[in-house]
């Protein structure tokens, strides 16, 4: 295959291959995801209501692809980095709030735990840039 | 508030009296039913949805019908139209669009407007209108049921011969603070369209009936002929002879018919004769007819080993039921371990496949058409989607198809064992599809039946796709029923998922593992299998 013919092909391929991020929905630069409660370092007895705060974006039902709106995910003791090219995992440490919930009752075993919020789009993918909260550490007595 | 009062007192831009601010108009008043309840549920979300609905639906629809949006209140709007016909038309369009929008959200979150339309003389100001006509319109709106349009007698007189839809007279109603009673009519949805739909349905039904009679005849003929050849290959292949609770695989059709399909012969719409012995290692090759379209070729294709049918039913395995210990101590959600007795039932041999799902989608009974290989399990299915499929399957086959209960699922998954996995206490390769079971990273899980079957002859009971069951989510078994029935009640915003998926690790493959997810939300690893009451 000669080079001249290969170039457009390569360009085409790279178009499909490289911007995996391009499928992630854009988020406003000033969007802010945060914990209303608990705060970093909190010491809590038993179960608690975890409340999610979001500024400059809206909370919607998963499946609704309105611009600048998403739904919450709570990561508990997750250390793996967030993969922007995959739907946010769903298991016991990745909780989903696809009905548009903005708070949840959380029960954790005693000890130190980390909590982090991640906003997902209609198809549960992270936004671009990813909208994530500070990762906080709490202690359950 | 002070600003509003100032505005209304007419400070900025006093209405100049030579403009004659009075006029006759059709007034439309709309208001969200149960707004404060919605706000209580989800303040921010509701606010966003209301604003979005106003922006995307209310405002453009009013403009399209040559109306003018006078103002929006927190939960409603007021618009005026020169033409009563346009006013009512606009109201109907808004109501019908809202039905579509609500379809994708749980009922608790439905946003439904009540709409009242009245013809009256109004005083028009820059940002509001006044007059008895407006009050009557808003009283009509108050009378209306959520999702309905109520119109006054004045409007009715103007539109009755011009707008093709039904009207139901509700008589004269006395309304608050208005001296004379108001004649009220309820606008019924497009009657003509409704009748058209009914006629079309009747035609399809007659066609299906004829087709199914032909199939029954063909099937019966084939059945008589094939019984003589008496194939027994399946019995030899099925790994079930040692499991006491399993009904033997349908080697002799009459007994299998009894268990799986209680009354196939007299039923007006027949299913596939599942009693036909199918060699279990080749699930993909069992049905040569690609799509069970209503125009099934009946029994005309001689090389096919059995007649094609209207609906391809999932392959079922009949279980005799029994007692088992449900739960484990591995996770708090699986406690306490409790004894459950399950009645006889049948359960899908595999999770529902893309091909099976798409038959439902083609019949317009399931929400979306699934992509992917025909024999892969269907994914991205919400609990409500799964319920739609089983309802459609039960309806078209006339058999009591349903989702399994959580207890039935675990009973079936354990296959008579009490070990951590159905094959023992250690993970072994080749038994299940999960993240660290040896096969990962694929866009969708392996096709159904790629791993070993358990002692009951069931595939993918653990790993593969998460599987919805009928039960509402409860965070432990405290208070769970012990008769194998589905545990309903409680806060049912989420339902139970079993099996774990190809994206989860080995802990999730355990038959005792349980998870939950929002009832109406789709997620790419969620599928289901069906159950059938005897």
Rounded CA gap, B386 and A17, in Å?
34
Nearest to B149, CA basis, from B89, B191, B101: B89
- Token code pair at residue B522: 């789709």
Q: Dump pLDDT digits (tens) for A111-129.
A: 999 999 999 999 999 999 9
Q: Dump pLDDT digits (tens) for A79-106.
A: 999 999 999 999 999 999 998 899 999 9
Give the strand pairing for B149-152 and B182-187.
antiparallel
Q: Are B475 and B327 in contact (CB under 8 A)?
A: no
Contact between B45 and A97 using a beta-carbon 8 Å cutoff: no
Contact between A91 and B508 using a beta-carbon 8 Å cutoff: yes
- Comparing CB atoms, the residue among A87, A96, A102 nearest residue B518 is A96
Distance from CA of A51 to the nearest CA of B (A): 12
Q: How many CB atoms are closer than 10 A to CB B56?
A: 13
Contact between B521 and A59 using a beta-carbon 8 Å cutoff: no
* β strands within B111-249, DSSP E: 112-124, 129-130, 149-152, 167-173, 182-187
User: Which DSSP string do the residues of B449-517 spell out, in sequence order?
Assistant: T-S---TTS-S-SSSSSEEEEEEEP-SS-TT--SSS-----S-TTEEEEES--TTS-GGGGSTT--EEE
Residue B136's contacts (CB-CB under 8 Å, 6 or more residues apart) are: B116, B118, B120, B152, B175, B178, B182
pLDDT at B257: 40
Q: Dump pLDDT digits (tens) for A22-79.
A: 578 999 999 999 999 999 999 999 899 999 999 998 888 899 888 899 999 999 999 9
Q: From chain B, pick out residues whose CB is under 8 angstroms from the CB of A91.
A: 504-505, 508, 515
Residue A110 has pLDDT above 60, yes or no: yes
Contact between B106 and A89 using a beta-carbon 8 Å cutoff: no
Contact between A100 and B503 using a beta-carbon 8 Å cutoff: no
pTM reported for the whole predicted model? 0.56
Nearest to A93, CA basis, from B434, B508, B133, B441: B508
Contact between B109 and A92 using a beta-carbon 8 Å cutoff: no
Contact between A66 and B106 using a beta-carbon 8 Å cutoff: no
Q: Are B388 and B405 in contact (CB under 8 A)?
A: no
Distance from CA of A117 to the nearest CA of B (A): 17
* Angle ∠(B461,A79,A52) on CA atoms, nearest 5: 90
Residue with tokens 């708090």: B332
- In degrees and rounded to multiples of 5, residue B174 shows phi and psi of -85, 125
Rounded CA gap, B298 and B111, in Å?
46
Kindly give the confidence (pLDDT) of every residue in chain B, 534 residues in length, as a single tens digit, with 9 standing for 90 and above: 444 444 444 444 444 444 557 889 999 999 999 888 888 888 888 889 899 999 999 999 999 899 999 998 888 999 999 999 999 989 988 988 888 888 778 888 888 999 999 999 888 887 888 888 899 999 999 889 888 999 999 999 888 877 767 778 888 888 777 778 888 988 876 545 445 556 666 777 888 888 888 888 888 888 877 766 544 444 433 343 334 444 444 434 333 343 443 333 333 333 333 433 334 433 433 444 344 444 333 334 333 333 335 678 999 999 999 999 999 999 999 999 999 999 999 999 999 999 999 999 999 999 999 998 999 999 999 999 999 999 999 999 999 999 999 999 999 999 999 999 999 998 888 888 888 886 544 556 778 988 899 999 999 999 999 999 999 999 999 999 999 999 998 778 899 999 999 999 999 999 999 999 999 999 999 999 999 998
pLDDT at B244: 41
Distance from CA of A111 to the nearest CA of B (A): 16
Interface test with B, best of A20, A59, A61 (most B CBs within 10 A): A61
ipTM value of the model?
Answer: 0.85
| A-chain residue closest to B517, CA distance | A96
Q: Are B277 and B254 in contact (CB under 8 A)?
A: no
pLDDT at B281: 39
Residue A53's SS3 state is strand
Contact between A102 and B504 using a beta-carbon 8 Å cutoff: no
Nearest to A113, CA basis, from A75, A68, A61, A73: A75
- Comparing CB atoms, the residue among A58, A63, A97 nearest residue B44 is A58
Rounded CA gap, B450 and B283, in Å?
10
Rounded CA gap, B147 and B169, in Å?
17
Q: Are A139 and A44 in contact (CB under 8 A)?
A: yes
| B-chain residue closest to A98, CA distance | B521
Distance from CA of B125 to the nearest CA of A (A): 34
Distances B432 to A29, A110, B427, B452, B522 between C-alpha atoms, Å: 43, 33, 9, 7, 23
Rounded CA gap, B95 and B189, in Å?
10
Contact between A61 and B508 using a beta-carbon 8 Å cutoff: no
Rounded CA gap, A71 and A119, in Å?
6
According to DSSP, residue B401 is labeled E
* Angle ∠(B110,A49,A57) on CA atoms, nearest 5: 55
User: Which DSSP string do the residues of B317-365 spell out, in sequence order?
Assistant: EEE--EEEEE--SSSGGGPSPEEEEE--EEEESSPPBHHHHHHHHHTT-
Distance from CA of A2 to the nearest CA of B (A): 34
pLDDT at B209: 85
Distances A61 to A124, B64, B247 between C-alpha atoms, Å: 11, 29, 44
Residue B274's contacts (CB-CB under 8 Å, 6 or more residues apart) are: B250, B256, B260, B261, B313, B315, B316
Peptide bond into A38 cis (omega under 30): yes
Rounded CA gap, A73 and A62, in Å?
11
CA torsion sign, B302 to B303 to B305 to B310? negative
Rounded CA gap, B138 and B117, in Å?
8
Distance from CA of A96 to the nearest CA of B (A): 7
| B-chain residue closest to A121, CA distance | B523
According to DSSP, residue B57 is labeled I
The rounded Cα B411 to chain-centroid distance in angstroms is 26
Contact between B524 and A87 using a beta-carbon 8 Å cutoff: yes
Residue A21 has pLDDT above 90, yes or no: no
């Amino acid at each position: 295959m000669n080079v001249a013919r290969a170039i457009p092909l390569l360009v085409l391929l790279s178009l499909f291959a490289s911007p995996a991020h391009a499928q992630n929905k854009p988020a406003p630069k000033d969007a802010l995801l945060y914990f209303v409660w608990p705060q970093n370092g909190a010491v809590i007895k038993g179960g608690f209501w975890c409340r999610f705060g979001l500024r400059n974006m809206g909370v919607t039902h998963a499946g609704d692809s309105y611009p600048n709106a998403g739904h919450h995910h709570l990561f508990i003791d997750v250390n793996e980095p967030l993969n922007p090219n995959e739907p946010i995992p769903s298991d016991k440490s990745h909780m989903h709030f696809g009905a548009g919930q903005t708070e949840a009752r959380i029960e954790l075993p005693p000890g130190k735990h980390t909590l982090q919020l991640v906003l997902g789009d209609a198809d549960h993918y992270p936004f671009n840039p990813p909208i994530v909260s500070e990762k906080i550490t709490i202690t359950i007595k | 508030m002070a600003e509003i009062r100032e505005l209304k007192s007419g400070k900025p831009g006093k209405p100049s009296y030579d403009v004659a601010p009075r006029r006759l108009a059709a007034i439309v008043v709309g208001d969200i039913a149960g707004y404060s309840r919605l706000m209580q549920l989800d303040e921010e979300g509701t606010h966003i949805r209301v604003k979005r609905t106003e922006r995307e639906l209310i405002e453009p629809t009013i403009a399209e019908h040559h109306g003018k949006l006078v103002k929006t209140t927190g939960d409603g709007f007021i618009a005026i139209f020169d033409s009563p016909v346009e006013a009512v038309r606009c109201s109907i369009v808004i109501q019908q669009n809202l039905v579509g929008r609500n379809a994708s959200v749980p009922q608790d979150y439905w946003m439904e407007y009540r709409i009242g339309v009245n013809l009256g003389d109004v005083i028009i100001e820059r940002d509001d209108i006044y007059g008895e006509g407006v009050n009557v319109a808003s009283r009509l709106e108050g009378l209306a049921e959520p999702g309905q349009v109520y119109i006054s007698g004045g409007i009715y007189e103007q539109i009755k011969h011009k707008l093709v839809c039904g009207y139901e007279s509700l008589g004269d109603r006395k309304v608050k603070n208005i001296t004379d009673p108001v004649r009220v009519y309820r606008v019924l949805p497009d009657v003509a369209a409704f009748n058209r739909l009914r006629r079309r349905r009747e035609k399809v039904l007659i066609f299906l009936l004829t087709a199914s009679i032909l199939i029954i005849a063909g099937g019966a003929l084939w059945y008589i002929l094939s019984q003589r050849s008496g194939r027994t290959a399946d019995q030899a292949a099925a790994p079930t002879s040692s499991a006491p609770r399993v009904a033997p695989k349908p080697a002799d059709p009459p007994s299998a018919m009894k268990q799986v399909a209680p009354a196939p012969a007299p039923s007006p719409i027949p299913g596939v004769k599942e009693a036909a012995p199918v060699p279990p290692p080749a699930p993909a090759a069992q049905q040569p007819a690609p799509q069970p379209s209503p125009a099934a070729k009946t029994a005309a294709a001689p090389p096919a080993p059995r007649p094609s049918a209207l609906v391809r039913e999932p392959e079922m395995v009949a279980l005799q039921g029994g007692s088992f210990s449900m739960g484990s101590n591995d996770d708090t959600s699986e406690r306490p371990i409790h004894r459950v007795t399950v009645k006889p039932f049948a359960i899908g041999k595999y999770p529902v496949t893309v091909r099976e799902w798409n038959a439902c989608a083609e019949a317009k009974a399931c929400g979306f058409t699934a992509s992917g290989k025909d024999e892969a399990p269907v994914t991205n299915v919400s609990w409500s989607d799964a319920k739609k499929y089983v309802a459609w399957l039960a309806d078209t086959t006339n058999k009591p198809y349903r989702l399994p209960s959580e207890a039935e699922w675990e009973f079936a998954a354990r296959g008579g064992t009490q070990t951590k996995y159905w094959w023992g206490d250690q993970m072994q390769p080749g038994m299940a599809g999960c993240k660290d079971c040896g096969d990962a990273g694929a866009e969708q899980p392996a096709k159904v039946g790629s791993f070993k079957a358990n002692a009951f002859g069931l595939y993918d009971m653990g790993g593969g796709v998460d599987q919805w069951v009928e039960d509402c989510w409860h965070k432990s078994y405290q208070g769970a029923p012990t008769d194998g029935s589905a545990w309903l009640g409680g806060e049912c915003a989420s339902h139970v998922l079993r099996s774990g998926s190809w994206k989860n690790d080995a802990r999730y493959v355990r038959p005792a593992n349980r998870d939950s997810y929002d009832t109406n939300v789709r997620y790419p690893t969620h599928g289901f299998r069906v159950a059938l009451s005897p």
